Amino acid sequence: MGNDWNIETKCVQEGWKPKNGEPRVLPIAQSTTFKYDNSQTLGDLFDLKIDGDIYTRISNPTSSAVEAKIAALEGGVGALLTSAGQAASFMSVINIAHSGDHIISSVSIYGGTFNLFDKTLREMGIDITFVDVDASAKQLDAAFRPNTKLVFGETLSNPGLCVLDIEKFAHAAHKHGVPLIVDNSFPTPINCRPFEFGADIVVHSTSKYLDGHATALGGVIVDSGNFDWAASDKYPGLTAPDETYHGLIYTENFGRAAYITKCRTHLIRDLGTTPSPMNAFYLNQGIDTLHLRMERHCSNAQKVAEYLERDERITWVNYPGLESNKYYELAQKYLPKGSSGVISFGVKGGREAACRFMDNLKLAAIVTHVADLRTSVLHPASTTHRQMSDEQLKAAGVSPDMIRFSVGIENADDIIQDISQALSAL
Ligand SMILES: *Cc1c(COP(=O)(O)O)cnc(C)c1O
């Protein structure tokens, strides 16, 4: 049941499917551990011979239901919830890349992910080559080395709003026998399902649109099940015996779910980057209305972007839904239902005017967050990128006047009115 459902129905109906007499709403299993009648059953669970929950660090019934829902939305074989998006990105990489290995990433990615890759992964001995998000097939080819283990990109980058040519990146990765991992936080599976374009693994910061209410921090890793790990000897962690489970071989025991199973039984077991059952419940409740919210975020953002483009007090507007946008064509292909609610723009008067404009806003709130159902706004140059000089900002693609505006699901006229009055008061 469920495979034929449209994505809107999956948001509401997938995951928790109560049996006779069970709670209608996903129950919160707020328990660290689970009771068994005999030690044989528990032993079999530890040996991964049977399915079941042992300890919430590794799995939990509330989280499992949400994982099943997200896997269904993305079209994958399995998913793993994590404590934050950062943990999901980190684990998606170190599940298959280790000290002495090399990875390739688009440079147009979330700042936190950039730091994780450029600093922490390098400190762990994983080398990285950053490539332009607009790199040609030839440029991508040139970045590969014999020890390259994966390629990483963001469907719609935060905050640059660059659209990744998923097919081009997937093709380059597959030509070299490695998977493509895509961070799909901004479009969500409502607007783009990267597996349909050849991506192999999807990660999300569920703290953004999936939760959508700015309630619970979280992340998720989703496995398409499509990548053939056994086709080469590049991934011994998946194709050679795991001595911590009596010599079990992931690809033989778990087939298409090898990668995501190892993420759980090996990585989350060892790292403890687990969400609380309560946060999994909040996430589930967020996803119940994801399809409705994304539709409104996108239609509101389109109206706001078109308004900004017409207003002469605005110097530039970046929104992939505008025909003038550099990524309009790619957005039409990968994000035909809309990109997201996030717009960036500049106001006349530069950095100083940008700050005064933000202070003048009444409805839009200044917060370090995006993808919230409440309209919010951030000035990267004076917050997230505040240590950088104007020259460094330019190199990072953040202009001193850049305002990152996350359009909420209020009435678009009220949001536009708020922007207009804040501009008038400058
Ligand atoms: C916020 C964000 C992250 C990090 O997620 P957290 O839940 O804050 O750890 C990763 N990728 C993207 C695209 C993001 O916007």
Whether 392 has a pLDDT exceeding 80, the answer reads: no
Closest atom, ligand 1, to C-alpha of 219: 7
Q: Report the pLDDT averaged over residues 330-341.
A: 98
Q: Report the pLDDT averaged over residues 273-282.
A: 98
Closest atom, ligand 1, to C-alpha of 217: 7
User: Ligand 1 atom 1: the closest Cα is on which residue?
Assistant: 205
Mutate to test the pocket of ligand 1, among 81, 82, 86, 156 (most ligand atoms within 8 A of CB): 86
DSSP summary character for residue 193: -
Whole-number average pLDDT of the chain: 95
Q: Report the pLDDT averaged over residues 157-178.
A: 96
Domain boundaries, the chain: 2-286, 291-424
Mutate to test the pocket of ligand 1, among 89, 92, 106, 110 (most ligand atoms within 8 A of CB): 110
* 85 CA to centre of ligand 1 in angstroms: 5
pLDDT of residue 398: 79
Which class would CATH give 291-424? alpha beta
pLDDT > 90 fraction of the chain, expressed in percent and rounded: 88
Q: Order the strands of the 376-378 sheet from edge to edge.
A: 314-318, 342-347, 402-406, 376-378, 365-366
In the block, which residue shows the tokens 């505008």? Answer: 322
User: What are the φ/ψ torsions at residue 404 (nearest 5 degrees)?
Assistant: -100, 115
Q: Can 2-286 and 291-424 be said to share one CATH topology?
A: no
Q: Report the pLDDT averaged over residues 305-330.
A: 97
Q: Ligand 1: which residues within 6 Å by Cβ?
A: 84-86, 89, 110, 112-113, 154, 158, 183, 185, 205, 207-208, 217, 219
What CATH architecture does domain 2-286 belong to? 3-Layer(aba) Sandwich (3.40)
User: Of 74 and 159, which is predicted with more confidence?
Assistant: 74
Contact status, residue 30 vs residue 281, Cβ threshold 8 Å: no
Measured CA to CA, the distance from residue 268 to residue 272 in angstroms comes to 5
pLDDT of residue 3: 75
pLDDT-derived band at 318 (thresholds 50, 70, 90) equals very high
DSSP summary character for residue 144: -
pLDDT-derived band at 366 (thresholds 50, 70, 90) equals very high
User: What are the φ/ψ torsions at residue 97 (nearest 5 degrees)?
Assistant: -130, 135
pLDDT of residue 386: 79
Whether 208 has a pLDDT exceeding 80, the answer reads: yes
How far is residue 296 CA from its own chain's centroid?
A: 20
Q: Report the pLDDT averaged over residues 52-59.
A: 96
Which residues are within 8 A (CB) of 402 and not within 5 positions of it... i.e. 6 or more apart? 159, 344, 345, 346, 354, 379, 380, 381
Question: Across 326-395, where does the E strand assignment appear?
Answer: 342-347, 365-366, 376-378
pLDDT-derived band at 1 (thresholds 50, 70, 90) equals low
CB neighbours of residue 9 within 10 Å: 12
Measured CA to CA, the distance from residue 88 to residue 206 in angstroms comes to 10
Whether 214 has a pLDDT exceeding 80, the answer reads: yes
* 242 CA to centre of ligand 1 in angstroms: 31
pLDDT-derived band at 2 (thresholds 50, 70, 90) equals low
Using alpha carbons, select from 47, 112, 356, 82 the residue that is nearest to residue 202: 82
